[in-house]
Structure 1
Amino acid sequence: MELIEEWYKQYGLEVFNYLAYRMATRDVDDLVQETFIKAFHGVNRFKGDSSPKTWLISIARNVATDFHRKRRRFVSDEQFSDLVSPDLPIERLIDVMDARHAINKAVQNLKPNYQEVVILRGILELSIVETAQTLGWTESKVKVTWHRALKELRKHLETGGMEHVSVR
């Protein structure tokens, strides 16, 4: 129990961010809780082959997949409003919201493998090794998929009129 509590303190925010970008629900806290409950029940199966963070995000990924199967929903606009500082000038705020909406829409239009790698590498900034461990892929597959996903994401942003939005 103490180990899971420690991991929650260390990685809870990253699990929350992963689920927030992946999900279209205001119940992200519930999904984070479900992730850590599953981790608690399965901690004896954690072998240490990967970091606790990648193991937890793998569990969160499965929780998200289960949720999507049940609901078939995507990330909502309301989630992005919580991410913007109220100190921004209104013009800049509108630009930021438009860019985030465009990126969200473009990510949602990617095929599932591309969505996963964009969220993990681009948004959560996991390393290639961590992403490979989380997805159960080779590092090579992560690199190739990341490259292809960014190329596809750029295309979606350009066709959506957001060619000025930067994609790494």
Structure 2
Amino acid sequence: MSSDMEQYYRENGRKVFLYLMTLCGNADTAEELTQETFYRALRSLKKYKGDSSVYTWLCSIARNAWLEELRKRRKHTSEEITELIEDTSPRPDEEAESEDSRIRLLKRIHSLPETEKEIILLRASQELSFREIGEIFGKSENWARVTYYRAKQKLADSR
């Protein structure tokens, strides 16, 4: 592994893992995809031109790896994806009202179209700027901002 890539992994490995956790909700899958992300990044390191931050570049690679994983799973069975996305039922010890509200919100988020769901999660859990989100999707900062607010409105309307 190149010294640049080792440094990128030290600085961004955990954040990329957490980003993937927001997408897939499964630690094992997120870990596998994190490794795949850095493998792909290593293979394409010469193509990285520095137009975006290393983290947003890695998130773009991670997102593509996740979408590829989803396509593979869809070929096998759509039930696995449904379980991953919809398994937000409360545990028996989580019957408090605030926990119930949080779970309802997560279900509403996961019912959004994939792009809107990702943008909401990137903004809320990763605290990325609209510019960084736009870079991950290969779109403009304004596109990210508008898409975020539309998704937020859908969440508010679905209460």
CA distance in 1, matches of 2:113, 2:85: 15
CA distance in 1, matches of 2:58, 2:17: 11
Residue matched to 1:23:
24
Q: Structure 2, unaligned stretches of length 5 or more?
A: 75-80
**After superposition, where does 1:1-168 map in structure 2 within 5 Å?**
1-25=2-26, 26-72=28-74, 73=81, 74-75=84-85, 77=87, 94-95=96-97, 97-156=99-158, 158=159
| CA root-mean-square deviation | 2.2
Residue matched to 2:78:
none
Identity of aligned residues (%): 34
TM-score by structure 1 length?
0.78
TM-score by structure 2 length?
0.82
In the alignment, is the contact (CA less than 8 A) between 1:77 and 1:101 conserved in 2?
no
- Structure 1 runs, 4 residues or longer, greater than 6 Å off: none
Relative to structure 1, is the Cα distance of residues 113 and 27 closer, same or farther in structure 2, using a 3 angstrom cutoff?
closer
Q: Structure 1, unaligned stretches of length 5 or more?
A: 82-89, 159-168
In the alignment, is the contact (CA less than 8 A) between 2:86 and 2:110 conserved in 1?
no
Q: CA offsets, 1:127-162, max 9 Å, x none?
A: 111111111111111111111011112233x1xxxx
Shift of 1:53: 0.4
| Higher share of residues assigned helix | 2
CA distance in 2, matches of 1:107, 1:139: 21
